[in-house]
Amino acid sequence: MTSPIEHSEGRDAALDAALRELHREVLAQPLPPVLLDAARRVEDLQLQTAHSRQWLAMAAAVLLAFGLGWSSHGFLPGSPSANLAKGRIEHEFVRQAGFAHAVYLPEKRHPVEVLAAEQEHLLQWLSKRLDKPLKIPNLEPQGFALVGGRLLPGDSGARAQFMFQNAQGQRITLYLGALAKTANATDLQATQFHFEPDAAVPSFYWAEKGFGYALSGQVDRATLMALANSVYGQISPG
């Protein structure tokens, strides 16, 4: 006695055999070229999809590895994160220098707190307040005489501003002070000259040994750069 399952399987096999016999001529015919071409395209697409998935998986693994590597390094010197933080600090510094220049530039009677006649006192006072031995550059060979200086507040301590003026009444200011620390203190050690033409006041600025300098003035770029080079050559701590 056969089971219901065995009986069903036997009936299905007989039905399949009858169908093959009925359509023997059709089954014996070769596949049309159109169908063969479609089948090849489907197979190629399946292979491409499989390869794409493999490449995507490999790319994802590589990106993940690099992402973990960057995040583990954090603010390393030269890394995108460190450069971004450094750029923000320097940008804020030169922005404050431009504001200070714009505020005191038009002053007729009180452009500075201490006049150039008291240069020695000015230098001692500001050096003490900034906790750093300062130097006042001599820009008279370039036609700019010292007017004097003043003490200003900064986001990371006291700042100093020295003002100079030429015979035509043009004024430039040297703004200096300690920069805010980044996650890595060495980020602000190297000196790099930058020109800021889009600020309220054109400025050349640089950083050295954690200290920032910005020379600002409404003069042409070549003149400002020559003055900045002279300032750097005279007051560089190196």
The full set of domain ranges for the chain reads: 74-235
> Given a cut of 50, is residue 65 above it in pLDDT?
no
Residues written for the chain: 238
User: Topology of domain 74-235, per CATH?
Assistant: Phosphorylase Kinase; domain 1 (3.30.200)
Q: What are phi and psi of 67, to 5 degrees?
A: -60, -45
Q: How far apart are CA 147 and CA 166, in angstroms?
A: 10
CA–centroid distance for 79 within its chain: 9
> Would the pLDDT of 171 be above 70?
yes
Mean of the pLDDT values across residues 70-99? 59
* Top-confidence residue, 85 or 17: 17
**Under 8 Å between Cβ of 187 and 82:** yes
pLDDT score recorded for residue 195: 86
The answer, yes or no, to whether residue 111 has pLDDT greater than 90, is yes
